[in-house]
Structure 1
Amino acid sequence: MSESNEKVSSISNLMQEQGFNYQFFYFLYKLMNSKRGETIRYEEVDDISIVRINKMEVYQLKYLTSSNISDLSEAFWKTLYNWGSLQGINFSNTTFFIVTNALITNKLVKYIEKYQENVCTFSDIKRRIEDYKNNTSNEDIEKYISDVIENKNMSSILKNIKFIQDINIIEKIYDNLYRFLIPEEKQILFLKKLIGELKLRQFKDTNEKKKFEVTFEEYFKFGCKLADRIRSNKFVESFYECNNIKDFIKKFFIVQAQDIGVVNDEDDIITLSTNYLNYINNMIEIMKYKFATDKEIDDSLKFVIQNWKSVFMECKRLIADDISKGKKCFTDTLNKNIKIGNISLEDITSKGCFLKLSDELRIGWLPKWEEKYKNEE
């Protein structure tokens, strides 16, 4: 196997480890390939959108198990219907992309290309579309086609639409790894950490009800910082998201949080479990590759417990109601960031440290937490 094929295979394996998501990895590719002044948005206007001054690109991604996108593909007509319903965009300055791994056998595409070349008119296109409407028994497709025919923005959409059959996303990601001058042997590590950084940002933005977008300038800044740390063999955190709450719902760190009212639904469990996972997995890496000594790790944990105890005693002394004491102790404790030797942990990972200790019943939130939970072990 050639070196490039081996690297592509390694990237493919990494993507499978991360849980292959065509949409996310296409976002990664567009970000890696971005230029000054561009903002790459995820799941806002559509799956992916790229914003420039007075211009926009909108991407609808179709990763299909079927082999083609045919004339009466429901996904195709639904996409046109959704684009026609968009609000607050300038259709004449927007390019619309359908990107798919499937073969595009839709004959309408050829007529659209003729329309774009001014070989035929929009009225000609509409007559073709009417034929499709008359040849389907699917009510949903018929509804989508009816809207496409009547939509006032459709002439601009079809004038600016492009179709891309893209099955080489892995190769494209590989081709963009050169940008930060990472040594060959560290490129997969860089990519893994880059994916982690993006998923961390997405996790934070989602929790804060913010749109997830990254500018070229932001990407280049954190990419350079990440590359410098990897070239210097310094620790870089990875991001781990909880996707299955069944593994955590009965653990003490969740039970303790539920008992003080800071966990009310599945989203809260996912958030705390993600914190917990990040601490455990990043600590495994820190210890495995000796980014910190055993003494530095022990000293850090002693400081963390001392810090918790100080907050716990203050809450116990100043607040009357037990639940309010526990909630205040939990919030104030988890707001503190942790250092291990020269490593400053991210806030998500720092929170996970306190949650891990609460799961081991080394710390707690309610005034009589030891008496309550240690009897349940």
Structure 2
Amino acid sequence: MNTSTHYENKIFEGQKLIGFDYQFYYFVLLALQLKKDESIGYEDKDDVQLDKGDGSTILFQLKHSSQRKKNGEIINLSSLDDDLWHTLYNWAKQVKTKNNFLDKHSFVLVSNKNHNDNEFISLHNDFNNDNNLDKAKRKLSSILSSTNSKTILKKIEEVINLNDDKLSLFLKKIKIFLNKDDIVTEIKKSLYDNFHIREKFIDKFFNDLYAQLKIASFEAIKSEKKYILTKNEFTAIFDSCYHATVNKTRLPKRIFEEITPPANLEQLNFARQLIDIRAVMTDSQRKDKRLIRYCIEMLKADKYIKYWLKETAITSIDLKYYEEDCRATWNNIFDSVYREIENQLYIGVNIDKLEEEIIKNSIQVVDKVREVNLSMPDYNSTLGIEFNNGFFWLLSNELKIGWHYDWERMYKKQ
């Protein structure tokens, strides 16, 4: 592949990604407008669909272009634009092949392209004003005769060949919205105007809401499920973002039932790591009690995380950032404690000869980490030593962090 072709392919892939983002931004915008008994779907019946409380469905096609005219404006949606006719062709096929499809479906084409002398849009507007189907069909035939493209011809013919009743109702049920380029600004305006999110919170609220919805859609599509969001489901996500962004208070406390460590405690990854560096010793009753206490801290931290997520006190994004803070803190401690070990390894000392020194250092890492008291992002108060300790045990149990210098080789490959 030559450099020019590779560059063009990169641009094309980038434009496709922007197109997918454009679809999802519009999905978010429509989600903000959901009414009771309505639901919204993504990449199911169409790019986006809105299922109304009366049983009807609006199908949305989103078409984004990165092409610009010389003056910097987005290109126009031309009379023979493939975005236009491919969309109409797909809808017309469903109208033709599915019984009574028009009874319950209407159609919306949304694009960031501009409108300038588009013959289809003109005939569509005229028909909705005068109901003159013969005139509309003549104009469709005129558009058909103006192209030599077999692909476009096929798509226009699919529309023209609808019987008069279906074509008439089809044209009545189409809406076209052009020049819809800055959907993010529309979303933020809606958050401010309709949901009264204060301006200083808008950006973070939008980012949290978008991320929550995007994660939910990814998980659904990955599991080969439809991503359909009801009004109640959207409200729950919206509320979680609100509590986590605008209405942040001290995280709620809860008394859990007695937590009992599992019977296989010493086989858990976090316990194996501690036993191997002699931070706890299985032949010492005192040390065994310490391991039990550590395990209870870990299980309690896990219960709190699930509780806070369920109660929308935090979002999955909050948890992600908190984990990143914990891992960064652990990494700084780890690097600091093991600096001398690394120097010795650098000059050629065999790691096996450094084992006893590594053991001493690994316990230092544990002790320093146990002093850490971080907070959840955007909460003023820290989470407390017990919770932080429990979360670090969780990370070590999931083999995301370790204590021994060579912990990844020792545990991850087993």
Q: Which residue of 2 aligns with 1:36?
A: 36
SS of corresponding position for 2:36: coil
Which AA in structure 1 matches 2:228? E
Q: SS in structure 1 opposite 2:91? A: helix
Instruction: Report how many residues are paired.
Output: 265
CA distance, structure 1, for counterparts of residue 19 and residue 321 of structure 2:
17
Taking the aligned partners of 1:355 and 1:142, their CA distance within structure 2 comes to 59
Distance 1:159 1:356, change over 3 A: same
Residue 141 to residue 228, structure 1, CA distance change in 2 (3 Å): same
- Alignment CA distance shift 1:95-1:300 (3 Å): same
CA contact (8 A) 1:229 1:235 kept: no
2:177 corresponds to = 164
- C-alpha separation in 2, matches of 1:20 and 1:46: 13
2: distance between equivalents of 1:107 and 1:295? 69
Distance 1:356 1:19, change over 3 A: farther
> Once the 2 structures are TM-superposed, how far is the Cα of residue 362 of structure 1 from its aligned partner?
8.7
Tell me what 1:45 maps to: 45
Q: 1:183 to 1:77 in 2, by over 3 A?
A: closer
Aligned to 2:226: 211
Conserved? CA contact 2:36–2:231, under 8 Å = yes
Secondary structure at 1:356's aligned position in 2?
Answer: coil
Q: Do the aligned residues in 1 keep the contact of 2:23 with 2:62 (CA within 8 Å)?
A: yes
Give the equivalent residue in structure 2 for 1:298.
389
Correspondence 1:238-253 to 2 at 5 A: none
The correspondence for 2:125, drawn from 113, 134, 154, is: 113
Aligned to 2:62: 61
The verdict on how the C-alpha distance between 1:64 and 1:49 changes in structure 2, with shifts beyond 3 A counting, is: same
CA distance in 2, matches of 1:361, 1:82: 60
Task: Give distance in 1, aligned partners of 2:406 and 2:233.
Answer: 39
Distance in 1 between the 2:406 and 2:161 partners? Answer: 66
> Residues 284, 104 of structure 1: CA spacing in aligned structure 2 closer, same or farther, 3 A cutoff?
same
Counterpart contact for 2:19–2:64, Cα < 8 Å: no
Instruction: Mark the CA change 1:99 to 1:205 in structure 2 (over 3 Å): closer, same or farther.
Output: same
Counterparts of 1:187 and 1:293 in 2: how far apart (Å)?
Answer: 30
SS at match of 1:194: helix
- How many angstroms does 1:232 deviate by? 3.8
Aligned partner of 1:342 in structure 2 is: none
- The answer on 1:73 being equivalent to 2:85 is no
1:176-208 CA distances to partner (integer Å, 9 max, x unpaired)? 214444333222222111111101211221122
What secondary structure, in the 3-state scheme, does the structure 2 residue paired with 1:65 have? coil
Q: TM-score, normalised by structure 1?
A: 0.61
SS, match of residue 117 in structure 1: helix
Instruction: Say if 1:136 and 1:142, in contact at 8 Å, map to a contact too.
Output: yes
Match of 1:138 in 2: 149
8 Å Cα contact 1:40-1:213 kept in structure 2: yes
Give, in whole Å, the separation in 2 of the partners of 1:228 and 1:146: 53
Residues 280 and 159 from structure 1, CA distance in 2 versus in 1: closer, same or farther, beyond 3 angstroms?
Answer: closer
Contact 1:92 1:156 in 2 (8 A): no
Please state if 1:233 is matched with 2:245.
no
Counterpart CA distance in 2 for 1:99 and 1:185 is 30
Q: Which runs of 5+ in 1 are unaligned?
A: 1-17, 237-276, 309-353
1:313 counterpart residue number = none
Partner of 2:115: 104
Counterparts of 1:278 and 1:137, CA distance in 2: 56
Contact 1:69 1:104 in 2 (8 A): yes
Distance change >3 Å, CA 371–CA 50, structure 1 → 2: closer
Q: 1:297 to 1:150 in 2, by over 3 A?
A: same
Identity of aligned residues (%): 24
Write the distance in 2 (CA, Å) between the matches of 1:93 and 1:288.
46
Q: State the partner residue of 1:23.
A: 23
Distance of 1:49 and 1:42 partners within structure 2: 7
**2: distance between equivalents of 1:20 and 1:109?**
25
The Cα RMSD (Å) is 3.5
- Residue type of the partner of 1:209? E
- More displaced stretch, 169-178 vs 192-201: 169-178
The secondary structure found in structure 2 opposite 1:40 is strand
Deviations 1:73-95 (A, max 9, x none): 11111111111123477314422
Question: Residue in 2 aligned with 1:126?
Answer: 137
Give distance in 2, aligned partners of 1:371 and 1:225.
37
User: Which residue matches 1:149?
Assistant: 160
TM-score normalised by structure 2 residue count: 0.56
Rounded Cα–Cα distance in structure 2 between residues aligned with 1:134 and 1:43: 34
Q: Gaps spanning 5+ residues in structure 2: where?
A: 1-17, 68-74, 252-316, 326-374
The residue type paired with residue 151 of structure 1 is L
Q: Report the AA paired with residue 33 of structure 2.
A: N
- 1:234/1:210 CA distance change after superposition, 3 Å: farther
Going from structure 1 to structure 2, the CA distance change for 1:235 and 1:41 (only over 3 Å counts) comes to farther
1:70 match: secondary structure: coil
CA-CA distance at 1:284 after TM superposition: 2.7
CA drift at 1:210: 1.1
